[in-house]
Amino acid sequence: MKLYVGTFNTNRQDYVEKIVSALTVPAEEIVNCKSSNRKLIDGLGFQWEGRENLDFMREHHPDLHMVSSESECGNGQMDWRAGEHTFYLLHEYIGHGCDEYYNWNFILCDQGRSAWGWKQNALVQVRSANRTYRYTPEYYAYKHFSHFVEPGSTLLAFYPLKEGLQAIAFQRPDGKRVIICGNINNEAKPLSIPLGKKFLNANLVAHSFNTFMEK
C-alpha cells in the first residue's frame, strides 16, 4: 500500500512545500535508520493550477511519485474545444513528470448535470432521448496517450505548447518511438521533431490530435 497526499489544486508552491516538509521525519527519530530524512508519504496528487508546482516538486523531491489525481471536468459541452483542453492537460502533466492521469467522469447522460447542478464532461456521452451514445473528443485525446504509449515506456522529449503546437515523445519497451502532437491553430502547421539523427517532419491539420510511431 502507498500513501499519497493531495489533491493540490493551488499554484502556491510555498503551501505545497510546507505540507510536504511537515511529512518528513528526521533520520534520528527513526529506529535503525541509516539513510537521510524519510518522508511519510509516497507521492503527491495535483489538479487544476497545482500542475504549476510540478517542476519544482520534481527537482526538490525526486523520491516522490507525482500523479494527476483528477482531470478538469468541464462544463457539459463535450465538444472539440473541450477535447483540445484535455489533450493539453495530458500533455502538460505527463511532460512535467506525472506518469498517471485520472479522469473524473467516464460516462454521463446528456450535458452531465450533477446532483448539485454542475454540468460536466465525460469520455462517453449518452443521449437519453433516443438511448444512443457517442465517444466525445476527450475520449480520443485520452486514446492517443493510452493506446499507443505502452506501460514501461520512457519519456524522451517534451515540447510545451508554443504557437499553437505541442508535442511529446516516448520510447516503448519494444524500442519503437512514439510522438504525440497537437495543433490548435485554425490552419495547418508544419512540425519538425528531432529523433537522434533523424527528424519527424509533418504537416498537422488544423485543430487535430496526431500520433506517429516508428514501424
Is 206 a domain residue?
yes
Among residues 54, 70, 86, which one ends one of the domains? 70
Question: How many angstroms separate the Cα of 170 from the Cα of each of 85, 92, 145, 155, 206?
Answer: 21, 14, 10, 5, 23
Range of the domain at 177: 149-215
Q: If pLDDT is split at 50, 70 and 90, which confidence band does 68 have? A: very high
Among residues 42, 70, 98, which one ends one of the domains? 70
- Summarised one tens digit per residue, pLDDT across range 24-48 is 765 454 445 454 556 777 888 899 9
Is 57 a domain residue?
yes
Is 135 a domain residue?
no
Closest CA to 5 of 54, 64, 55: 64
The whole-number pLDDT of residue 31 equals 47
Is 127 a domain residue?
no
SS3 146: helix
Those residues with Cβ within 8 angstroms of residue 125's Cβ, 6 or more apart along the chain or in another chain: 78, 107, 108, 109, 110, 112, 133, 134, 136
- Summarised one tens digit per residue, pLDDT across range 116-165 is 888 999 999 999 999 999 999 999 999 999 999 999 999 999 999 999 99
Among residues 70, 96, 127, which one ends one of the domains? 70
| pTM as predicted | 0.86
Is 140 a domain residue?
no
Is 8 a domain residue?
yes
CB atoms within 10 A of CB 66: 26
Is 19 a domain residue?
yes
Is 29 a domain residue?
yes
Number of domains in the chain: 2
Lowest-confidence segment of 4-13, 84-93, 195-204 by average pLDDT: 4-13
The mean of the pLDDT values for the chain is 88
